Amino acid sequence: MPKKQPEGGQAPVVQRVRVRYAKRGPLRFTSHRDFARAIERAIHRANVPIAYSQGFTPHPKISFASAAPTGVASEAEYLELGLQARVSPDELRTALDSALSPGLDVLDVVEAAAPGSLADRIEASRWRVELPDVSSAELERAVEAFRAAPEVLVERLTKQGRRSLDCRAAVLNITVISPPDGVPDAPYAILDLVVRQVTPTVRPDDVLSGLRVVADLAQPVPPRATRLAQGSLNAAGEIVDPLDADREASSVER
């Protein structure tokens, strides 16, 4: 027999806050489902006044925007919380960050002050892909072939079976950058990518598959991808943090 709705229903949402967080080190292997559970536990440990949905099985008001794939590090993941009591964004950031494991790090919290959802503000992502045992010259040749190709078809295994997609169309910028100081003399190349948000999503591993297709680029060691930013694109083609609109709206209100 289903449980009855609590008398009076759930407390309404009185504040929405938006959170930027990072997945670092071994915690990049945390799946989206496991992270969702971790954030719920952290919310309870930090005594965050989270609001709940209506109905027989209420759920916490948490929404995620364009989560990174499992195994990929990120400095720019986002979520939104609906709260049933007002909190200070700075205090919430400190409390949530303390309640999460190191490597799942809360970087910023702002009050949702501008209209529209986080998902509406995400047009593209910027990625850094590190390729051990690949020389910059090899990677540059592959990138030139990729840029010159009108389309680059790759296959991805999905729940519906193998699917072909054009990874070239989604790539706005692809550049080889110099390794930082202190990298050993062994070959080591870094790819800087800006990828438009499309359906189906084009991921860094799809672009690496595309480099194999157009230039037979060997990748003897598993690459390491990190999302550096995601958001909307300005006139110069730069990625704008989706929380900036809320900061600007808050400053106008003051």
Q: What CATH number corresponds to the domain at position 142?
A: 3.30.70
Q: Which of 73, 91, 112 is the last residue of a domain?
A: 112
- Same domain for 59 and 156? no
Tell whether the model's pLDDT for residue 210 goes beyond 90: yes
Tell whether the model's pLDDT for residue 160 goes beyond 80: no
- Same domain for 75 and 27? yes
Tell me if 74 sits within 8 A of 20, measured CB to CB. Answer: no
- Same domain for 139 and 73? no
* Tokens representing residue 31 in the block: 């799946």
Cα–Cα distance for residue pair 250/244, rounded to 1 Å: 10
Q: Which of 60, 83, 112 is the last residue of a domain?
A: 112
89-99 vs 32-45: helix axis angle to the nearest 10? 120
Q: Determine which of 19-33, 100-114, 176-190, 194-208 has the lowest per-residue pLDDT on average.
A: 176-190
Q: Which of 72, 88, 112 is the last residue of a domain?
A: 112
Tally of domains in the chain? 2
Q: pTM of this prediction? A: 0.89
Q: Determine which of 1-15, 25-39, 49-63, 118-132 has the lowest per-residue pLDDT on average.
A: 1-15
- Same domain for 92 and 163? no
Domain extent for 132: 121-239
Considering the domain boundaries, does residue 1 fall inside one? no
Question: CATH code at 31?
Answer: 3.30.70.580
Look at residue 163 in the predicted model and tell me its pLDDT: 85
Question: What is the identity of the amino acid at 181?
Answer: D
